[in-house]
Amino acid sequence: MFIRNYLIPRLLQYFLVIFLGITIVFFIPRMAPTNPVERTIAEIRSRGTYLDPAYVQQMVDALTEMYGLSGSWLQQYKDFWVRLSTGDFGVSFFQFPTPVMTLIKRALPWTVGLLFTTTVFSWLFGNIVGGIAGYAHNRRWSKLLDGIMMFIRPIPYYVFALGLLILFGYVYRKFPIAGGASIGRTPSFTLSYILDVLRHAFLPATSLAVLGAASWFQTSKLIVQNVNAEDFVQYAQLGGVKESRIIFRYIIRNAMLPQITNLALSLGQILSGALITEIVFSYPGLGNLLYSAISTGDYNLIMGIISLSIVAITTLVLIVDLVYPLFDPRIRYK
């Protein structure tokens, strides 16, 4: 019953979303006016290199074949899925001849580390503190905190990130303004290197965590206020149940259930915020790499990064969907 009525429909939806998403990613870059082969030839000529006209067409044909752009779009599409089945996105155009997967493997740990820590912190902080503030919504500190969060929440990621960059990077010069580690540092599991990485990650992580926490805070506060008006909470208060037990076992626990769903739905927005933040701080993650790929018309790298993002977000949403009944006993696999 579980496999037929619950698991199979969600797996079909999961693979359909990935298929359609990657298909769209394949065709959109090819509709752009930028031609990576012509761009490569132009860059070679701009360096003062002489190209014999008799060999230019041969070079164009070789680059077209190497970049996987030979044949019709349909043929390219078929070849793309064949390469994708082996995890091969081809070579990067602007960092030729480095394979796309090599560039992604270098940048992925930076983005995962930044995104995971900020998402977990902002979700937990926003829901717990927001839940307590929602229960004590008539208190002065709750109103003050709600006003601060209301001011922070509408600020766009890039504006908030630029503000932190100017304030702590240029005015007070407390933190580095770019990069993931000091130039020339060799990656290692030493305390000095870890502290250096944390120092470089502080500003981008702060921009994501603060804005994320503000959003979760206000949502949790509103949900808790609605839960607080439920009959079972009133009965618990009249029955003399300890206030701490009412807050954490009855109110916040029930209020966090829709927040789990909201977390799955907002994963795409969280990723987009991380990408923008990485561009602002020149952080060596997927966001900065994607920006370089778009600005240079690197089809293969664009498809590699966005395809990986589609698979990651869709997989996380599927996991949340499958484990949600474990958090909410009222939901059954049907």
The domain 110-286 is classified under which CATH number: 1.20.120.1200, 2.120.10.10, 1.10.150.120, 1.10.3720.10?
A: 1.10.3720.10
Q: How far apart, in whole angstroms, are the C-alpha atoms of residue 173 and residue 155?
A: 23
Rounded CA-CA distance 144/298 in Å is 48
User: Which residue type sits at 197?
Assistant: V
Where does the pLDDT of residue 55 fall: very low under 50, low under 70, confident under 90, or very high at 90 and above? low
pLDDT of residue 290: 85
Kindly list the domain boundaries of the chain, sorted by start residue: 110-286
Q: How far is 20 from 16, CA to CA, in rounded Å?
A: 6
| Range 165-186 average pLDDT | 82
pLDDT of residue 75: 79
**pLDDT digits 0-9 by tens, 92-109:** 877 777 888 888 888 888
Residue 49 CB: number of other CB atoms within 10 A?
8
| Number of residues written out for the chain | 334
Q: Answer yes or no: is pLDDT of 22 > 80.
A: yes
Q: How far apart are CA 307 and CA 290, in angstroms?
A: 12
Q: What is the mean pLDDT of residues 285-301?
A: 82
Asked whether residue 54 carries a pLDDT value surpassing 70, the answer given is: no
Confidence of residue 48 (pLDDT cuts 50, 70, 90): low
pLDDT in tens, 196-219: 888 888 888 888 889 888 988 988
**Contact status, residue 280 vs residue 161, Cβ threshold 8 Å:** yes
Segment 151-178 mean pLDDT = 85
Lowest mean pLDDT among 40-49, 127-136, 273-282: 40-49
Question: Does the pLDDT at position 285 exceed 80?
Answer: yes
Q: How far is CA 300 from the centre of its chain?
A: 20
Enter the DSSP assignment of 180.
Answer: S
Query: What per-residue confidence (pLDDT) applies to 236?
Result: 79
- The mean of the pLDDT values for the chain is 80
Asked if the model's pLDDT at residue 334 lies above 60, the reply is: no
The DSSP H or E segment spanning 325 is: helix 299-327
User: What does the pLDDT average to over 30-39?
Assistant: 69
Average pLDDT over residues 130-149: 87
* pLDDT attached to residue 1: 60
Is pLDDT at 24 greater than 80 in this prediction?
yes
- Band the pLDDT of 44: cuts 50, 70, 90: low
In terms of Cβ atoms closer than 10 Å to its own Cβ (0-12, 13-18, 19+), residue 227 is buried
pLDDT at 298: 77
What pLDDT score was predicted for residue 52?
Answer: 64
